[in-house]
């Protein structure tokens, strides 16, 4: 019983309605006609036109610009945005980071990563083929998340128009160009290590 009463009070509350100060609407046909004439030929029209003109001027030439001039200018993409993949390099040696473990290939739910590896002259595992079929990729980011080497990450390239799908699906195309290595930032986007990664590291001593 008590419960219900409390509920009722809350519903009632205090009502603080405000009445809007509305001008009277024209009531007769003549009044309506007079209003149209006044609005059409009064200065209001020119005030409106002037406002538009002024804003256009400030947008085009002044400070009032609110859009980016695509394609000359592009919106900065948030680091966690998932666009076309980037293949990163090791900062020290410039070698690509991918070790060919195949985890990205395995985890990919749309089955669009295909790769081949081989035993190279230095007795190491080498990635000999690596492609992502972007016609199938759903940009889920699993590959970036699973990669143990931070080798595959999602980059900011979101314009998925091309004459051929193949033209942006090869390993070399995704790989950070070697001359841009200095611009490669330690990635903090999708698949990056968590900010507190250091705390999570466990001791695995290896003495060589």
Partner 1 sequence: MEHKKDIKTQIQVTIDGKICNGTTNDTILKIARRNGIYIPTMCYLTKVEPIASCRMCIVDVEGVDGHILSCQERAVDGAVVHTQNSELFKQRQNIMKLYNVNHPLECGVCDKSGECDLQNKTLEYGVEVQTFQTKEPHRPVQNWGFISYDPALCIMCEKCVKVSHEITGNEALRIKMGGYKSTILNTKNDHFDSSLGESAAVCPVGALVDTSFKYSTNAWELTKIPATCSHCSSGCALSYEVKNDTIYRVTNPFEFSSLCGAGRYGFDFANRVNGKDKKAFDAGISAFKTAKTIKFSASITNEEAQILQELKNKFDYNLVCDEAYGYGEFMRAYSSTSGKSLYGGNLESLSKCEGIIVLGSRIEDDDPMVKYHITMASKRQSARVAYMHPIEDSRISNIVTQFIKYEVGSEEGVLALLLSYILSNKELPAHVSEYIKELDIGNLSAESNVGEEELEKFFKAIEKKNRFTLVIGSDIYAHPRVAHIAKLVGIIDSYSDFEIIAIPPATNALGVSLICDLDKQGVGESIGYNEIGDFTLSSQGAANLDMPALNQQEGTFTTIDKRVVATNVAISYDGYTLNDIANELGLYNKNTIDYTAKLPVSKGFMEVDFDNLRDDFDIEGNDMRGYLLASCETKKDDSLEEPAELSSFDGAMVYNCNETHYFGDATNKSKLLSSSESHTLKGSSQFAQIAKIEDGQSLRYSINDIVYERVFKIDTTLKGTIALNPTFDMGLSSSMVSSYRYNNFNIEKTNTVGAS
Task: Give strand pairing partners of 118.
Answer: 126
Q: Which residue's CB is nearer to partner 1, number 82 or number 105?
A: 105
98 binds ligand SF4 (CB under 6 A): yes
Q: Which residue's CB is nearer to ligand SF4, number 34 or number 178?
A: 178
Rounded CA-CA distance 175/178 in Å is 8
The DSSP string of 38-66 is HHHHSTHHHHHHHHHHHHHHHHHHSS---
Q: Which residue's CB is nearer to ligand SF4, number 101 or number 112?
A: 101
State which of residues 79, 81, 117, 187 lies at the interface with partner 1 (CB under 8 A). Answer: 117
Coil, strand, or helix at residue 153? strand
Could you tell me the smallest distance in angstroms from the CB atom of residue 168 to partner 1? 23
Q: Are 97 and 106 in contact (CB under 8 A)?
A: no
Given partner 1, ligand SF4, none, residue 124, with its beta carbon under 5 to 8 Å by kind, binds partner 1
How far is residue 27 from each of residues 21, 42, 157, measured CA to CA in Å?
17, 21, 60
126 backbone dihedrals φ, ψ, rounded to 5°: -120, 140
Q: Which residue's CB is nearer to partner 1, number 15 or number 204?
A: 204
106 binds partner 1 (CB under 8 A): yes
| Contacting range for partner 1; rule: CB under 8 A; set: 1-9, 42-50, 89-97, 115-123 | 115-123
* Torsion sign, CA atoms 57, 61, 64, 67: positive
Q: Which residue's CB is nearer to partner 1, number 90 or number 99?
A: 99
Coil, strand, or helix at residue 9? helix
147 binds ligand SF4 (CB under 6 A): yes
Given partner 1, ligand SF4, none, residue 151, with its beta carbon under 5 to 8 Å by kind, binds ligand SF4
Q: Are 145 and 194 in contact (CB under 8 A)?
A: no
Q: Which residues are at the interface with partner 1 (CB under 8 A)?
A: 99-103, 105-106, 116-119, 123-126, 148-149, 202-208
């Amino acid at each position: 019983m008590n419960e219900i009463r409390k509920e009722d009070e809350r519903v009632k509350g205090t009502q603080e309605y405000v009445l809007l100060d509305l001008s009277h609407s024209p009531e007769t046909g003549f009044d309506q006609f007079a209003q149209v004439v006044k609005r059409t030929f009064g200065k209001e029209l020119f005030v409106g036109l002037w406002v538009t003109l002024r804003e256009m001027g400030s947008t085009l030439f002044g400070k009032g610009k609110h859009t980016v001039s695509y394609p000359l200018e592009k919106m900065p993409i948030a680091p966690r945005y998932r666009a076309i993949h980037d293949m990163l390099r090791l900062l020290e040696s410039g070698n690509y980071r991918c070790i060919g473990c195949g985890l990205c290939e395995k985890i990919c739910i749309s089955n669009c990563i295909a790769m081949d590896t081989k035993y190279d002259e230095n007795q190491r595992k080498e990635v000999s083929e690596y492609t992502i079929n972007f016609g199938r990729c759903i940009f889920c980011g699993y590959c970036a998340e699973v990669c143990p080497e931070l080798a595959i990450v999602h980059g900011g390239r979101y314009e998925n128009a091309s004459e051929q799908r193949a033209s942006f699906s090869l390993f070399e195309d995704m790989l950070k160009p070697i001359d841009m290595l200095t611009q490669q930032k330690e990635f903090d986007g999708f698949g990056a290590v968590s900010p507190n990664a250091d705390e999570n590291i466990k001791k695995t001593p290896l003495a060589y």
